[in-house]
Amino acid sequence: MDIAEILAPQGVFPRVKAANKKKLLIDLAQRAASLIGAKEDKIFEALWEREKLSTTGVGHGVAIPHGRLPKLERITAVFARLEEAIDFDAVDDAPIDLVFLLLTPEDAGADHLKALARVSRLMRSAAMCEKLRAAPDKAALYALLTEPTATFQAA
């Protein structure tokens, strides 16, 4: 599975402002709702319930919030780069500024895990995160996220 299969150019947001974790997830739920035609409150609810289990702030300034939605037809991603890093209760207690949101159908099973693994590998790369932070615009972010080697970088 390539990132381009789950992330559309219109799902990339280079300058997102958020005061805190909850407001960020509300904002991203609104953005995702317009992409997939689902209700933003249902998206937020799925994301917030997952956050209650344990943080999706994976460290090094990165968060990968994810949730399952009934009636969603395919795995969909949203990427956001924050204007200012915020506290996200990340595992390393560092603030986050890169967010890769994943929404999967309720019955996605192994595909949910495969998508999460792909995104995790991509966002674990310190070099990739540096490039994402330095990218000048939406087009550059999308190109970085979807380059063929992006799904396989792990350094």
Burial class (CB in 10 A: 0-12, 13-18, 19+), 152: exposed
Q: What pLDDT does residue 118 have?
A: 92
Domains of the chain, earliest start first: 3-147 (3.40.930.10)
pLDDT tens digits for range 45-70: 999 999 999 999 999 999 999 999 99
Residue in 66, 72, 132, 142 annotated catalytic: 66
| % of the chain with per-residue pLDDT over 90 | 86
Q: What pLDDT does residue 149 have?
A: 59
pLDDT tens digits for range 20-37: 999 999 999 999 999 998
pTM, two decimals, is 0.92
66 is catalytic: yes
Q: How far apart are CA 106 and CA 122, in angstroms?
A: 24
Q: How far apart are CA 118 and CA 2, in angstroms?
A: 8
pLDDT tens digits for range 82-95: 999 999 999 999 99
pLDDT tens digits for range 100-125: 999 999 988 888 889 999 999 999 99
pLDDT tens digits for range 127-143: 999 999 999 999 999 99
